[in-house]
Amino acid sequence: MSEFAKAWLILISATALVVVPYVLAWRAKGSAVRRGATWIVALISALCAVAASNYVPIGLEDFHSPAASFWTALKGNPIMLAISIGAWVMAIRFSIIALRKNTSHQTSDNAGAKSR
């Protein structure tokens, strides 16, 4: 198998690993299935956050490297940091959703409007 095919296989597998639990977290009928899928999404987000956080210090070394352009390092490091912070925020939000006692995905305003 060529490297190109392996790269696409890894990309498709990683996408499916994230998309399937995400869809189950919002569309599944049973609350136990939704809660479990939400925990899986939170775990995957946390793993991505840890991996992205490991690359932030490596990217900061570009400022000291004469081989790397200063402007490239100046543009690339905030992007890398934003990806890391975004993954941590997603992991925390999905963990909070999974820990809630009320597993319905309605806001309090919508729930009050239906009871009237």
Residue 72, SS3?
Answer: helix
pTM assigned to the model: 0.66
Look at residue 38 in the predicted model and tell me its pLDDT. 85
Task: Give the C-alpha separation, 43 to 30, whole Å.
Answer: 20
Residue 5 in tokens: 């095919």
Residue 48 and residue 89 in contact, taking contact as beta carbons nearer than 8 Å:
no
Express each pLDDT in 85-115 by its tens digit: 998 998 999 899 888 866 555 544 455 555 5
Look at residue 106 in the predicted model and tell me its pLDDT. 52
Express each pLDDT in 2-45 by its tens digit: 888 888 888 888 788 778 887 877 777 877 888 888 888 889 88
CA 87 → CA 22, 32, 56, 57, 84, distances in Å? 14, 24, 13, 16, 5
Look at residue 111 in the predicted model and tell me its pLDDT. 52
CA 111 → CA 10, 59, 100, 107, distances in Å? 41, 46, 16, 6
Task: Give the C-alpha separation, 89 to 100, whole Å.
Answer: 17
